[in-house]
Amino acid sequence: DQQVKQNSPSLSVQEGRISILNCDYTNSMFDYFLWYKKYPAEGPTFLISISSIKDKNEDGRFTVFLNKSAKHLSLHIVPSQPGDSAVYFCAASANFGNEKLTFGTGTRLTIIP
């Protein structure tokens, strides 16, 4: 049972445009959400997070939006750069303070120069 789903295995975006990566979850106990970025031959690295008391969190070119009623979050990257080409994983945890993370299946983002 996949509790965190990323339905788009891949996404291609022109350099300079907006990249939007989507993530859906089914467990209503999840209250903290994170995005990780992974380059080939490296471990995932933490990108940005949001708690369920917010609906938006911004860090430079990266913004995460959370829609609790729809159990949906999205990551916006503006403007997209070639270095953003990577696999992006969303992750969620329940009972804030419990560090177990449940990851999605990942979306491979390719930025076209």
Partner 1 sequence: EAQVTQNPRYLITVTGKKLTVTCSQNMNHEYMSWYRQDPGLGLRQIYYSMNVEVTDKGDVPEGYKVSRKEKRNFPLILESPSPNQTSLYFCASSGTNYGYTFGSGTRLTVV
Binding site for partner 1 (CB under 8 A): 4, 6, 9, 32, 34, 36, 41-46, 49, 89, 91, 93, 99-106
Tell me if 77 sits within 8 A of 70, measured CB to CB. Answer: no
Least distance from partner 1 to the Cβ atom of residue 110, Å: 17
Least distance from partner 1 to the Cβ atom of residue 45, Å: 7
H-run or E-run covering 20:
strand 19-25
The residue (of 73 and 91) whose beta carbon lies closer to partner 1 is 91
Q: Cα separation of 52 and 79, whole Å?
A: 26
The residue (of 21 and 91) whose beta carbon lies closer to partner 1 is 91
Least distance from partner 1 to the Cβ atom of residue 10, Å: 12
H-run or E-run covering 80:
none
User: What's the Rg (C-alpha) of the chain?
Assistant: 13
Least distance from partner 1 to the Cβ atom of residue 104, Å: 5
Q: DSSP E strands: which ranges in 26-106?
A: 30-38, 45-51, 56-59, 62-67, 72-77, 86-94, 102-103
The residue (of 34 and 77) whose beta carbon lies closer to partner 1 is 34
The residue (of 4 and 111) whose beta carbon lies closer to partner 1 is 4
